[in-house]
Amino acid sequence: MTIDFAEYRKKVTGCYIGKAVGGTLGMPFEGNLSTRDISYYEPVPTGVVANDDLDLQVINLELIRRFGLPVDRYHLSKLWWNMQDMGPDEYGVARWNVQLGRNAPLSGFYANKFHGGMGAAIRSELWACLTPGDPALAARLAYEDACTDHYDDGIHACMFLAALESAGFVQTDTECLIADGLSVLPDGCVLKTGIQDAVGYWKSTHNIYAARELVLQNHFSQNWTDVTINLSFIMIAWLASGGDFGKGICCAADLGYDADCTCATLGSIMGIINPASISEEWTKPIGRDLILSSGICGIHEPRTVDEFCDLVANTAVSVLAYYKSPVRLGNTNNPSIVLRKWTEKSDIFNEQEDSHISVIAVQPLTVKLKYPLQVALKPNSTNEFELELVNPNNETISGSCTFLVPENWCVTPADIKIACKPFGYASYKFSVTTPSLDKRRPQKNWLDLHFYTNGLHWSAEAGLALTTPWIRENLDTGEIEIIEAYAPFQDVPAGRFVYHTTFKLNTSVDMIMSAQSTRRLCACLNGQQVLTGDGSMYVPAFHRGSPTAKVTSSADNSGWNYVDITIEDGDPGELFVGFSRRHSCGEWLIGVEYSIMPLMHKVSADPKHKTK
């Protein structure tokens, strides 16, 4: 199939102008759970509003141009490391994981309560515009991006939209386009069912508010960025629009929730299908400048949306050719951007790869580390890992790998012989044994891998997560247990409890602490009550949900801070405790250390204590 370049370029412009218009319209209603009935901007803007919906696509395009093809999770993960300074929800978890050496897809999985948020879905347009008319390829590239900060339906949402939008370059029928998007999703997944339900709700009611109520009744989440809710709203608004751009994005805003994202995404979809549907009444107030958010750093941004669209369109020529897509762009007048190929093996990563894997290198060997099921390691435990190697080159690579672990840790075997045929695969198992870790429990723990292959010395590194120690005191029985939490979240059984731990912040900057539970709680810091919660809202983030407390100094000169959290009786539930910086939407801290040594007298003095 050949798509005329000039027509394709118009649709790319329609995509991103539609996104800018929709995002600006929806921004005042972001996170608003009520409904409304609008017909235009409220208020009328004096320029385009910066939005992460576009910010992160600008970064991703620069990463592709910088690192070349194939598009891959390893290089896209660098977005979270050094090109943005935002930390809400899944972005914060991904940034925290990547900075601690836990790369994609593990970065989107481990400790991620926002794995089904809209953060990747809003980046789908880039993959569609780079692969016009090839929905399967669009979904494949969307997966590489989305797995850096999501898993499960958070990834499925980005794949669905990318496939739908890609198909929108060559067809216009709404129901056919929805079917194209659904075709890339696994049967039985929550998102697929939710979208199918939403289409049915609209057909049975022909009322956006009635259909909205049915979505919330059957697919409710306390997270207002949930993809099943928000993509359902996009579909309802689109079906209600009758092809009218202004009506469509206003309907999306009327339904609320993650309104800037739903309006922006629907604006993109309708802009791709019919760029001419975006009238001047929508574009004149915002202009065509490309404005990035203040949290974006180290990026060379285009000056206008049109310049960005030029970069996207000219990059697409190389992308389609590299992946041997059946689609070509014809009558191309501008020279395409020639991208470096870091391997000819375009399928080096598996879409359905285990979420416990972290990609820690891509050349001269692609190195994947498969973590234990729980990811985090307990003290005095032996944990099985697997090293997976893929050869991205057309020559055999052989040699050795030496593992190095922190002081008093043990790795077995410490040295292995490796060999990988051209474009081949090999795997090797090894174990890591942790010491008692009773004095202090740092977050930064590195497994260093030193390779000697084909006469070349090179290295890679991976972060090893540790459990968080807590003392749990049962207020009804007096029983005391040592609990090893595998993430910042832990289960809370029925009963009344006090949870105790101590932590140290390796920074002089003021921080905040968040403590949330599905039950009523009271949190004390260094003997002073700082937080309470009634358990009605459990959204474990630092910039929304329950209030946070400022952490300024330790209780004594040791640097240790004492945390005591009392949880009232109720059904089994969950407790979250985390620490973040006070700015950047609460970026997760990477310099926290834990210990229960100052509290061990509670355990040793109680004859009923036991260890879990």
pLDDT per residue as tens digits for the range 271-280: 999 999 999 9
In tens, the pLDDT along 114-136 reads 999 999 999 999 999 999 999 99
CATH number, domain with residue 242: 1.10.4080.10
Bridge-partner residues for 337, per DSSP? none
422 and 472 part of one domain? no
266 and 369 part of one domain? no
The pLDDT assigned to 182 comes to 98
pLDDT cut 70: percent of the chain above it: 94
The mean pLDDT value for 353-357 works out to: 90
The pLDDT assigned to 584 comes to 60
The answer to whether position 581 is within a domain reads yes
The pLDDT assigned to 466 comes to 97
Q: In a 10 Å sphere around its CB, with 0-12 CB exposed, 13-18 middle and 19+ buried, how is residue 36 labelled?
A: middle
- In terms of average pLDDT, the best of 87-101, 176-190, 532-546 is 176-190
Strands 521-525 and 528-533: antiparallel
Domain count, the chain: 3
Asked if the model's pLDDT at residue 94 lies above 70, the reply is yes
> Which band of pLDDT confidence, cut at 50, 70 and 90, is reported for residue 540?
confident
In tens, the pLDDT along 380-408 reads 999 999 999 999 999 999 999 999 999 99
Last residue of a domain, one of 438, 463, 488: 463
pLDDT cut 90: percent of the chain above it: 78
Asked if the model's pLDDT at residue 360 lies above 70, the reply is yes
Last residue of a domain, one of 403, 431, 463: 463
Query: Whole-angstrom Cα distance, residue 202 to residue 214?
Result: 10
> Which band of pLDDT confidence, cut at 50, 70 and 90, is reported for residue 52?
confident
The mean pLDDT value for 32-58 works out to: 93
Cβ(356)–Cβ(373) below 8 Å:
yes
Last residue of a domain, one of 439, 463, 487: 463
The answer to whether position 16 is within a domain reads yes
131 and 158 part of one domain? yes
418 and 365 part of one domain? yes
3-state SS, one letter per residue, for 328-381: EEECCCCCCCCCCECCCCCCCCCCCCCCCEEEEECCCCEEEEECCCCCCECCCC
Token duo for residue 609: 């204590």
Query: Whole-angstrom Cα distance, residue 353 to residue 443?
Result: 26
CATH number, domain with residue 557: 2.60.120
Write out the residue range of the structural domain in which residue 230 sits: 2-330
The pLDDT assigned to 546 comes to 61
The pLDDT assigned to 88 comes to 79
Residue with tokens 């049967």: 187
> Which band of pLDDT confidence, cut at 50, 70 and 90, is reported for residue 65?
very high
39 and 69 part of one domain? yes
The mean pLDDT value for 17-29 works out to: 96
Q: Which residues contact 321 (CB under 8 A, 6 or more apart)?
A: none
The pLDDT assigned to 299 comes to 82
> Which band of pLDDT confidence, cut at 50, 70 and 90, is reported for residue 357?
very high
The answer to whether position 335 is within a domain reads no
556 and 408 part of one domain? no
> Which band of pLDDT confidence, cut at 50, 70 and 90, is reported for residue 228?
very high
Q: Residue 122 half-sphere exposure, CB side, CA atoms within 13 Å? A: 28
The answer to whether position 347 is within a domain reads no
The pLDDT assigned to 355 comes to 93
Asked if the model's pLDDT at residue 600 lies above 80, the reply is no
424 and 485 part of one domain? no
> Which band of pLDDT confidence, cut at 50, 70 and 90, is reported for residue 507?
low
Query: Whole-angstrom Cα distance, residue 16 to residue 53?
Result: 10
405 and 473 part of one domain? no
Q: Which of 53-67, 322-336, 432-446 has the lowest mean pLDDT?
A: 322-336
Q: Which residues contact 524 (CB under 8 A, 6 or more apart)?
A: 530, 562, 563, 564, 565, 566
Confidence (pTM) = 0.95
The answer to whether position 343 is within a domain reads no
Amino acid 520 reads R
443 and 557 part of one domain? no
138 and 163 part of one domain? yes
Query: Whole-angstrom Cα distance, residue 464 to residue 444?
Result: 7
Q: Rounded to 5, what percent of the chain is helix, strand, coil?
A: 35, 25, 40
- Give the Cβ contact number of residue 605 at 10 Å: 9
The answer to whether position 337 is within a domain reads no
| Nearest C-alpha neighbor of 95 from the set 72, 103, 578 | 103
- Give the Cβ contact number of residue 341 at 10 Å: 14
Asked if the model's pLDDT at residue 543 lies above 70, the reply is yes
183 and 45 part of one domain? yes
Q: Which of 37-41, 312-316, 350-354 has the lowest mean pLDDT?
A: 350-354
The answer to whether position 379 is within a domain reads yes
Query: Whole-angstrom Cα distance, residue 577 to residue 110?
Result: 15
The mean pLDDT value for 10-38 works out to: 97
Q: In a 10 Å sphere around its CB, with 0-12 CB exposed, 13-18 middle and 19+ buried, how is residue 556 labelled?
A: exposed
Cβ(453)–Cβ(365) below 8 Å:
yes
483 and 578 part of one domain? yes
In tens, the pLDDT along 278-323 reads 999 999 999 999 988 877 777 888 999 999 999 999 999 999 999 9
The answer to whether position 345 is within a domain reads no
> Which band of pLDDT confidence, cut at 50, 70 and 90, is reported for residue 542?
confident
What's the mean pLDDT when you consider all of the chain? Answer: 92
Asked if the model's pLDDT at residue 609 lies above 80, the reply is no
Q: Which residues contact 320 (CB under 8 A, 6 or more apart)?
A: 130, 131, 134, 327, 328, 329
